[in-house]
């Protein structure tokens, strides 16, 4: 592995350009999660104003976003593998920002559902193209850290969404809404969507300052101009055990993640009687600090394993995070007091974030350069359809139809967490050997 890395580093690694790319893409990812997660702090006001059940609200948080994010992710990623990735990302950032603001104009469930669908379309342009760009900017033994830092945008964004959402909604609720010229008086949640959505247009402009990197293989040589669908399918078929266990294992992690995080603010509000603004600030700080630290540490740990010669380094790092997470994911929702639950959310957020940087870097390391974005999009299709599309809804269905009591939300969260955690550990354990085989194969092809 070290021999391969040296080829990448010989005259091709510009650290300033590379880390600037990480910084801008991380900012974009941060904004994407603010826009995606802001909904979690507005469960009560939206349910009240639109007359929704927990299950209907979960569809806004999950399925609405996941529908076109997943369906358009692969076609958009094909563009990313063959066209300018920087421009594609900038268009996506602008689109989801406008769609978030459009949610503030919704007057009923259908209109808000449509706005959330459009948020998903815009965000489908980001991560597959970003992963591919980073793989072309960094050598193999630094990629884990780079993708870990990029992925920290998830938890910093979630943290900021909880803090900003909690403060905004509480303040606007107390003020009776916000009066805007031409739009009239907006409800607290409507004004919040507009306030958090529009600044994303500035981020879209910043993305255009990035340089499009040359596409390179793991060994550092230029990638072939184009791969057709047959070649991509042949590669996936030849390594189907690896991709199936990788995709399914991290899909279970994403299911667990969304089952917990989609309802975390409401857990403290509904079960522990914590004020909305206080709940948002506390969870927001924990998510930003511990979630952000966990995902960076996961990438650093993966790189450390790689430098020690572990050919399955990113998968082993992901498995480690899953195994350490499971007990905290079950215990935190079941904690008898708000203070204990808050303490348990700290390690929960650290370990739930730990595997996701290695998950993305693993795909870049064992996938040919010209199909990285498409394979990443296929991965995101599966994990988001399972996790975002069904994670929060699984909790709501348990609350509405199994326990039949909104005050059993904590039991529903713990049940889904236990199932997702056990399945993730089993599946990722099965991925180690096929990953080592595929990694050695791709090194031999490009050595």
| Section 300-305 average pLDDT | 91
Q: Find the angle CA(230)-CA(140)-CA(426) to the nearest 5 degrees.
A: 70
Domain around 421: 12-207+219-446
Whether residue 263 lies inside any domain: the answer is: yes
pLDDT band at 247 (very low <50, low <70, confident <90, very high): very high
**Burial (CB count <10 Å: 0-12, 13-18, 19+), residue 321:** buried
Tally of domains within the chain: 1
**Dihedral, CA atoms, 99, 103, 106, 110, nearest 10 degrees?**
70
> DSSP state, 213?
P
Q: Can you tell me the distance from the alpha carbon of 125 to that of 207, in angstroms, rounded to the nearest whole number?
A: 13
Bigger pLDDT: 434 or 40?
434
Looking at every residue in the chain, the average pLDDT score rounds to: 84
Whether residue 5 lies inside any domain: the answer is: no
Q: What is the pLDDT of residues 404-440, one digit of tens each?
A: 888 899 999 999 999 999 999 999 999 999 998 888 8
Q: What is the pLDDT of residues 145-161, one digit of tens each?
A: 888 889 888 888 888 88
| Section 77-91 average pLDDT | 87
What single string gives the DSSP state of each residue in 102-135? HHTT--SHHHHHHHHHHHHHHHTTTHHHHHHHHH
Whether residue 212 lies inside any domain: the answer is: no
Residue 339: how many other CB atoms lie within 10 Å: 10
> DSSP state, 177?
S
Bigger pLDDT: 208 or 159?
208
Whether residue 16 lies inside any domain: the answer is: yes
pLDDT band at 187 (very low <50, low <70, confident <90, very high): confident
Task: Locate 297 and state its tokens.
Answer: 């540490």
> DSSP state, 271?
I
Place of tokens 């403060």: 167
Please report which residue ranges of 176-291 form alpha helices under DSSP H.
Answer: 188-197, 200-207, 229-238, 240-261, 264-266, 276-286
Whether residue 7 lies inside any domain: the answer is: no
Whether residue 3 lies inside any domain: the answer is: no
Cβ atoms of 150 and 25 closer than 8 Å: yes
Cβ atoms of 416 and 394 closer than 8 Å: yes
Cβ atoms of 271 and 405 closer than 8 Å: no
| Section 167-181 average pLDDT | 79
CATH number for position 128? 1.20.1250.20
Of 178, 196, 195, which is closest to residue 187 (Cα–Cα)? 178
Percent pLDDT > 70 in the chain is 92
Place of tokens 């096929």: 434
| Section 32-57 average pLDDT | 82
Whether residue 151 lies inside any domain: the answer is: yes
- What integer pLDDT is reported at residue 8 of this predicted model? 43
Percent pLDDT > 90 in the chain is 32
| Section 380-396 average pLDDT | 80
Whether residue 393 lies inside any domain: the answer is: yes
């Amino acid at each position: 592995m070290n021999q391969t890395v040296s080829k990448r580093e010989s005259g091709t690694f510009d650290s300033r350009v590379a880390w600037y790319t990480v910084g801008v893409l991380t900012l974009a990812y941060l904004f994407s999660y603010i826009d995606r997660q802001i909904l979690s702090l507005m469960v009560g006001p939206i349910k009240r104003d639109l007359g929704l059940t927990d299950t209907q609200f979960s569809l806004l948080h999950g399925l609405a976003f996941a529908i076109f994010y997943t369906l358009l992710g692969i076609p958009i990623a094909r563009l990313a593998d063959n066209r300018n990735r920087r421009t594609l990302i900038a268009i996506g950032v602008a689109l989801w920002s406008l769609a978030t603001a459009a949610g503030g104009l919704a007057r009923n469930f259908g209109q808000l559902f449509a706005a959330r669908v459009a948020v998903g379309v815009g965000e489908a342009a980001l991560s597959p193209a970003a992963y591919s760009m980073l793989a072309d900017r960094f050598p193999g033994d630094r990629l884990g850290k780079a993708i870990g830092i990029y992925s920290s945008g998830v938890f910093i964004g979630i943290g900021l969404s909880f803090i900003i959402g909690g403060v905004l909604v509480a303040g606007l609720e107390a003020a009776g809404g916000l009066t805007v010229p031409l739009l009239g008086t907006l409800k607290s949640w409507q004004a919040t969507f507009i306030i958090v959505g529009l600044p994303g247009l500035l981020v879209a402009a910043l993305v255009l300052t990035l340089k499009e990197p040359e596409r390179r293989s793991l060994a550092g040589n230029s990638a072939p101009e184009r791969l057709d669908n047959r070649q991509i399918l042949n590669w996936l078929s030849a390594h189907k055990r690896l991709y199936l266990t990788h995709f399914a294992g991290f899909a279970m992690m994403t299911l667990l993640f969304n089952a917990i995080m989609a309802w975390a603010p409401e857990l403290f509000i509904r079960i522990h009687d914590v004020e909305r603004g206080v709940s948002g600030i506390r969870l927001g700080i924990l998510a930003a600090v511990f979630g952000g630290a966990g995902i960076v540490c996961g990438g650093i740990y993966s790189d450390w394993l790689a430098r020690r010669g572990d050919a399955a380094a990113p998968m082993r790092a992901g498995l480690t995070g899953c195994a350490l997470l499971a007990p905290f994911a079950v215990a935190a929702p079941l904690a008898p007091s708000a203070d204990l639950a808050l303490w348990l959310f700290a390690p929960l957020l650290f370990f739930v974030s730990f595997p996701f940087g290695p998950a993305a870097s693993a795909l870049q390391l064992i996938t040919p350069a010209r199909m990285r974005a498409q394979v990443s999009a296929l991965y995101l299709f599966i994990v988001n359809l399972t996790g975002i599309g069904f994670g929060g809804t699984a909790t709501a269905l348990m609350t509405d139809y199994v326990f039949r009591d909104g005050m059993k939300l904590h039991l529903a969260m713990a049940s889904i967490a236990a199932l997702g955690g056990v399945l993730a550990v089993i599946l990722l354990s099965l991925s180690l050997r096929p990953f080592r085989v595929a990694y050695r194969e791709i090194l031999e092809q490009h050595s």
